[in-house]
A and B are shown apart, each in its own frame.
Chain A
Amino acid sequence: MEEILEILENNARVSLEDLEKLTGKSQKEISRAIKDYEKKGVIVKYKTVVNRQKIKGQRGVRALIEVKVAPQKDVGFDLVAERIYRFPEVKSCYLLSGTYDLLLVVEGDDINTVASFVSEKLAPLSQVRGTATHFMLKKYKEDGVILTKLEKSQRLAITY
């Protein structure tokens, strides 16, 4: 049934009818499997990948923020991570090995919004030891999708 995930991961809008034709499984089986995935949290959400760079007059900036934090007794990084990822400005939050601990993807209307999020919300947290903010200049590829240019096969329309 992992095949269903593979197909949906690529296109969440595939209909049940098409899934049936693509996998050879019955619609009943498929919708049961999908429900099961949803219940177990394997399928978390169906969303649309939007390339905001293509929208005219689009405001908004993104930053990657490296955060060094002090782990806490018994709970490690989880609690401080939660303190941070609950801010709606934080779009993604990862715990990493290496020279810093948390990596955040933060979005704001402009540089100032992100800067004040860092200086007013993030940096003052007692467990936060330091931050480094990198503003994103251009997105080339995101989650396996190339955003800058579409490649199209140049093949002839008919060949043997």
Chain B
Amino acid sequence: MISKRVKKVPPSGIREFFDLVLGMPEVISLGVGEPDFITPWRIREKAITALEEGLTSYTSNKGLFVLRRDIAGHYREKYSLVYDPEDEILITVGVSEALDLALRAILDPGDKVVVASPHYVAYPALVEISGGKVLPLVTTPEEGFKINISKLKNLLKLEPKAIIFNNPANPTGVHYSNEELKKIWQVLSGKKTLIISDEVYDELVYDQKHSPFSSFSQEAKKRTILLNGFSKGHAMTGFRVGFVCANKEIIEAMTKIHSFSIMCAPIIAQIAASEALLAHKDINYMQSAYRRRRDYINKELNRLGLDNKLPQGAFYCFPSIKKFKLGSLEFAKKLLFQEKVAVVPGVAFGKEFNSHVRISYANSLENLKEAIVRIEKFLAKLK
């Protein structure tokens, strides 16, 4: 009944574990991949007003022009990066849809796509569903979970159609500096490979400035499909708004699919998103809260022997559990049953990462503190 393509996508091995967590009361969860903040009021209020004004229709397929214009303005101001709101920006239903569209727009059956891992779960799955073939680029803790240039060079010999690149990254919290990105770009420059750059966490960068991958040259801009959205930095996951910035030809192809399968992103969410671009104070407030929690949790994890490198972006840590001699799923299950703390097993992000767990610090300081107390108790029993 089901297509071979879809069947081939392995079911998530940790779905069961997720169900365990969801069914357990009083869990302190460090397993959440979304902000603990509720959407800032001025954004919500804008959505309420829009509803009151009866703004309930479709929008143009590409999305409200004002939103595209303001996104273009945002990129121009913040990153000196110029995209034409007429034909280089498309509003999508989250980065999730944008990713799906990008892959469907560019892949022919059997096309290869480099996916750096540990990776966000959707990447390899969507590549497979779009008929592509995943070329894993495994990064290691020793490399700081950053792309190794010679590994990348080797994979480029296989002439991949695209590489999916996530900066700042889920689940590691890695953020690439401008220099590191330039080195990666140097390897890619002059080739044909397209770069799908998922920058959904770009507002959550703590110690250095973010550079969009498309900002290095005209060629980089032409070959990069830049994905971003409002879910993380603006605490708007439930609104489901994202966007793509790319060259005209790619936007046109993606819009074609989008116009048939989605039509347009919900108008209320688009209106709320355009307000979000003005909510600088709220963004800064959340960003500095995350930074403090990051500093806190990083110190505590290292103190407990969960070796962790200070993450530079997003709201995740990806510490090693190697010395406790348990697989990541087993570790997570035991921690859940014994101390009611939830973390995400590293294997969810690639089979090589069985000696890591993902810890999200998108949680109140009180909860983080309590979680640390419980983890400390748990580890003491393990030894």
The answer to whether A and B belong to the same complex is yes
- Whether A157 and B342, one on each chain, are in contact in the complex, defined by CB atoms closer than 8 angstroms, is yes
Q: How far apart are B140's CB and chain A's nearest CB, in angstroms?
A: 21
Query: Known interface pairs A158-B344, A160-B344. Does A18 touch B296 (Cβ–Cβ under 8 Å)?
Result: yes
A21 close to chain B: CB less than 8 A: yes
Q: Indicate with 1 or 0, residue by residue over B326-363, a CB within 8 angstroms of chain A CB atoms.
A: 00000000000000001010001000000000000000
B33 contact from A18, A22, A160, Cβ within 8 A: A160
Q: How far apart are A144's CB and chain B's nearest CB, in angstroms?
A: 12
- Whether B300 and A157, one on each chain, are in contact in the complex, defined by CB atoms closer than 8 angstroms, is no
- Whether A22 and B21, one on each chain, are in contact in the complex, defined by CB atoms closer than 8 angstroms, is no
B152 close to chain A: CB less than 8 A: no
B31 close to chain A: CB less than 8 A: yes
Question: Which A residues lie at the B interface, using CB under 8 A?
Answer: 3, 6-7, 18, 21-24, 151, 153, 155-160
- Whether A157 and B38, one on each chain, are in contact in the complex, defined by CB atoms closer than 8 angstroms, is no
- Whether B36 and A158, one on each chain, are in contact in the complex, defined by CB atoms closer than 8 angstroms, is no
Q: Which residues of A contact B293 (CB under 8 A)?
A: 22
- Whether B34 and A158, one on each chain, are in contact in the complex, defined by CB atoms closer than 8 angstroms, is no
| Distance in angstroms between the alpha carbons of A18 and B373 in the assembled complex | 13
| Distance in angstroms between the alpha carbons of A112 and B288 in the assembled complex | 47
| Distance in angstroms between the alpha carbons of A157 and B30 in the assembled complex | 8
B29 close to chain A: CB less than 8 A: yes
- Whether A158 and B22, one on each chain, are in contact in the complex, defined by CB atoms closer than 8 angstroms, is yes
Q: How far apart are A80's CB and chain B's nearest CB, in angstroms?
A: 37
Q: Which residues of B contact A158 (CB under 8 A)?
A: 18, 21-22, 29, 31-32, 342, 344
Interface size on B, residues (CB 8 A): 30
Q: Which residues of A contact B33 (CB under 8 A)?
A: 159-160
A22 contact from B32, B37, B296, Cβ within 8 A: B296
| Distance in angstroms between the alpha carbons of A159 and B29 in the assembled complex | 10
Q: Which residues of A contact B344 (CB under 8 A)?
A: 158, 160
- Whether A159 and B31, one on each chain, are in contact in the complex, defined by CB atoms closer than 8 angstroms, is yes
| Distance in angstroms between the alpha carbons of A49 and B365 in the assembled complex | 19
Q: How far apart are B120's CB and chain A's nearest CB, in angstroms?
A: 7
Query: Known interface pairs A21-B299, A151-B38. Does A156 touch B32 (Cβ–Cβ under 8 Å)?
Result: yes
B292 close to chain A: CB less than 8 A: yes
Beyond A23-B292, A160-B33, A160-B121, 10 additional contacts (C-beta under 8 Å) are A21-B296, A22-B292, A22-B293, A155-B32, A155-B34, A156-B32, A157-B27, A157-B29, A158-B342, A159-B33
- Whether A159 and B295, one on each chain, are in contact in the complex, defined by CB atoms closer than 8 angstroms, is no
| Distance in angstroms between the alpha carbons of A23 and B170 in the assembled complex | 24
- Whether A153 and B27, one on each chain, are in contact in the complex, defined by CB atoms closer than 8 angstroms, is no
B31 nearest in chain A by CB position: A158
Q: Indicate with 1 or 0, residue by residue over B291-309, a CB within 8 angstroms of chain A CB atoms.
A: 0110110011000000000
| Distance in angstroms between the alpha carbons of A143 and B315 in the assembled complex | 29
Q: How far apart are A157's CB and chain B's nearest CB, in angstroms?
A: 4
For B22, B120, B299, B365, the residue with the greatest tally of chain A CB atoms inside 10 Å of its CB is B365
Q: Which residues of B contact A153 (CB under 8 A)?
A: 36-38
- Whether A156 and B22, one on each chain, are in contact in the complex, defined by CB atoms closer than 8 angstroms, is yes
- Whether A160 and B299, one on each chain, are in contact in the complex, defined by CB atoms closer than 8 angstroms, is no
| Distance in angstroms between the alpha carbons of A155 and B288 in the assembled complex | 21
Interface pairs (9), CB distance under 8 Å: A18-B296, A21-B295, A22-B292, A153-B36, A158-B21, A158-B22, A158-B32, A159-B33, A160-B122
| Distance in angstroms between the alpha carbons of A157 and B288 in the assembled complex | 23
Q: Which residues of A contact B369 (CB under 8 A)?
A: 18
| Distance in angstroms between the alpha carbons of A18 and B293 in the assembled complex | 10
| Distance in angstroms between the alpha carbons of A157 and B295 in the assembled complex | 23
Which chain B residues numbered 150 to 186 have a C-beta less than 8 Å away from chain A? 170
A14 nearest in chain B by CB position: B365
- Whether A160 and B348, one on each chain, are in contact in the complex, defined by CB atoms closer than 8 angstroms, is yes
B121 nearest in chain A by CB position: A160
| Distance in angstroms between the alpha carbons of A7 and B285 in the assembled complex | 12
A18 nearest in chain B by CB position: B296
Q: Which residues of A contact B27 (CB under 8 A)?
A: 157
- Whether B292 and A159, one on each chain, are in contact in the complex, defined by CB atoms closer than 8 angstroms, is no
